[in-house]
């Protein structure tokens, strides 16, 4: 068979998973090619907070934070709810600890603990911790990148705050009265110091280029090459032409193309969502599932779709990003606001997005319908003046066409088509909770992670303030995917893809959101998606190199 070019390892996708595999392979002496269909490098993880959740590590220990694997394992075990593979679940913490140490000490990534940021479910779930398990990249100066590479790496198109503020800076502002994020944002932007997912992508690209990794954007992998039942290469097409090239992978091919957010049939079938919006790049189309089907690997839903990390959010009419209509995710819980269903009733802890998302998808056996969907964010003018909805900043007018409004709550119910009596009763009861700071119905404000994200610590009760100042507003919510899927390719502890017959597909690997969440099962915590990408990219390349005897 003739080849246009040859490498040891080919990584399909340039997010944290693909780049982690590339870095590991190159460090071990392999020649590595990274291909990405999008014209910018970094994948969905570059749009994210960039957080990693490995559990206790040498970094948390160095900060003097007391933690242990037993507690962290109890936390994971509870969140998995029996849906995970026991071997993968029980090896996760030790494997993550080794991967993090490899990337800090051997590769040289400058990671840091996000101090004072608790696990999602602290203190409600056994084994949860008040801090120490979240990591992030330190601000990375993009000026270190050679040539035009700084302009080839994704930064968030949804606002500089997503790419130029660290988790530590945000938490410090919230809890300790630290420097305002607006100030640090301006400083980081001026110096082009990238943070969060954009900073992690920039740091990984820099390290990859130092090790001779070839990174090629605007290149779609359209097929896998199979010889004797083994994956031996890919067929790739450059966006600038219709011609294809056959590229050999002597050791293996890693699929790290993300989820399937831009594939409506997959979102409907796996995530059970109709007309869902998304906040990803336009190349997240389930390519890993299409490619792997050729060798008998089928999508594996690792948990109920109601427990997938899918947000609620809103759409701004006419807003186009990357040439497609886009949506904005909502982290609920800001004071002067709550979320209701069509009966005007609150139905979840609306200061904690996982509870809102899970209960928005509740299907009632008696009514034969989604009892909490559609849903609305309801707020008053105090909310607009103090917090607002992006891309508008506090005090600016709401984005045009996003909301309906009225000078009274009853009038708002009428124009929004929400039950008026239900909404008035809900507002009265919620305003009563604002006096005590105790939500007797759904526990709003009881989980510190949610309060840190959206609370106002200048108030007596950070998650509570009355709806009192007219006009009143209602925004009809959408379900919004952010690249974290319900289904992925089944893999083992080395990242090897497993066929529907239960056999390893030689030469084929998957990581990150392309791989099913068999290690975590039903539960989710911020940082898990990125950590899984890093971990199994690392493990896959180590396995390829070991198998080849390099």
Q: pLDDT of 80-111, one tens digit each?
A: 999 999 999 999 999 999 999 999 999 999 99
pLDDT band at 365 (very low <50, low <70, confident <90, very high): confident
Q: What is the mean pLDDT of residues 515-539?
A: 95
Over residues 387-409, the pLDDT tens digits come to 999 999 999 999 999 999 999 99
Domain locations along the chain: 5-217+485-548, 311-481
Sign of CA dihedral 216, 222, 224, 225: negative
In the CATH hierarchy, which top-level class contains the domain 311-481? alpha beta
- Give the alpha-carbon dihedral of 434, 437, 442, 446, to 10 degrees: 140
What pLDDT, on a 0 to 100 scale, did the predictor assign at position 550?
A: 81
Residue 368 has pLDDT above 80, yes or no: no
Strand, coil or helix: what is 428? Answer: helix
What pLDDT, on a 0 to 100 scale, did the predictor assign at position 354?
A: 94
Residue 366 has pLDDT above 90, yes or no: no
Residue 522 has pLDDT above 90, yes or no: no
* 395-409 exposure pattern, b = at least 16 Cβ within 10 A, e = fewer: eeebbeebbbbbeeb
Q: What is the mean pLDDT of residues 25-50?
A: 97
* 345-356 exposure pattern, b = at least 16 Cβ within 10 A, e = fewer: bbbbbbbbbbbb
pLDDT band at 193 (very low <50, low <70, confident <90, very high): very high
Architecture of domain 5-217+485-548: 3-Layer(bba) Sandwich (3.50)
């Amino acid at each position: 068979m003739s080849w246009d070019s040859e490498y040891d390892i080919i990584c399909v996708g340039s997010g944290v998973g693909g780049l982690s595999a590339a870095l590991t392979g190159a460090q071990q002496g392999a020649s590595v090619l990274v291909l990405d269909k999008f014209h910018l490098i970094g994948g969905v993880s570059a749009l994210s907070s960039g957080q990693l959740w490995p559990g206790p590590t040498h970094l948390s220990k160095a900060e003097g934070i007391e933690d242990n694997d037993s507690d962290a394992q109890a936390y994971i075990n509870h969140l998995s709810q029996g849906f995970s593979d026991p071997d993968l679940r029980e090896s996760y913490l030790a494997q993550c600890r080794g991967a993090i140490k490899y990337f800090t000490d051997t590769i040289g990534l400058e990671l840091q603990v996000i101090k004072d940021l608790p696990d999602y479910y602290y203190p409600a779930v056994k084994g949860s911790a008040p801090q120490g398990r979240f990591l992030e990249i330190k601000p990375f100066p993009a000026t270190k990148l050679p040539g035009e590479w700084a302009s080839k790496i994704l930064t968030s198109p949804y606002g500089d705050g997503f790419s130029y503020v660290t988790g530590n800076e945000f938490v410090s502002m919230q809890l300790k009265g630290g420097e305002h994020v607006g100030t640090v944002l301006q400083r980081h932007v001026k110096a082009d110091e990238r943070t969060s997912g954009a900073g992690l992508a920039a740091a990984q690209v820099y390290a990859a280029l130092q090790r001779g990794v070839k990174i090629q954007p605007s290149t779609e992998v359209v097929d896998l090459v199979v010889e004797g039942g083994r994956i031996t290469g890919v067929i790739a097409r450059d966006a600038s032409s219709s011609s294809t090239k056959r590229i050999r992978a002597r050791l293996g091919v890693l699929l790290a193309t993300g989820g399937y957010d831009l594939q409506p049939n997959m979102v409907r079938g796996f995530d059970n969502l109709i007309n869902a919006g998304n906040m990803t790049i336009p190349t997240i189309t389930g390519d890993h599932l299409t490619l792997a089907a050729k060798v008998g690997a089928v999508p594996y839903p690792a948990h109920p779709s109601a427990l997938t990390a899918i947000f609620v959010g809103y759409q701004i009419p006419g807003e186009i990003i990357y040439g497609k209509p886009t949506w904005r995710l909502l982290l609920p819980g800001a004071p002067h606001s709550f979320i209701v269903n069509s009966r005007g009733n609150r139905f979840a802890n609306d200061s904690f997005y996982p509870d809102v998302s899970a209960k928005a998808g509740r299907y009632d056996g008696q009514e034969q319908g989604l009892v909490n969907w559609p849903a609305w964010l309801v707020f008053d003018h105090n909310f607009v003046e103090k917090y607002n909805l992006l891309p508008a900043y506090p005090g600016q007018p709401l984005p045009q066409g996003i909301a309906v409004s009225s000078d009274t709550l009853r009038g708002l119910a009428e124009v929004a088509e929400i039950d008026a009596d239900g909404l008035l009763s809900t507002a009265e009861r919620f305003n009563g909770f604002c006096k005590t700071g105790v939500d007797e119905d759904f526990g709003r404000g009881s989980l510190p992670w949610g309060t840190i994200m959206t609370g106002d610590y200048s108030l007596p009760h950070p998650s509570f303030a009355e709806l009192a100042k007219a006009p009143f507003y209602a925004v009809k919510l959408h379900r919004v995917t952010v690249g974290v899927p319900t289904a992925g390719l089944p893999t083992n502890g080395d990242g090897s893809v497993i066929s529907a017959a239960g056999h390893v597909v030689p030469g084929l690997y998957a990581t990150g959101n392309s791989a099913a969440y068999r290690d975590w099962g039903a539960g989710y915590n911020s940082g898990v998606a990125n950590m899984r990408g890093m971990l199994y990219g690392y493990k896959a390349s180590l396995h390829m190199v070991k198998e080849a005897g390099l």
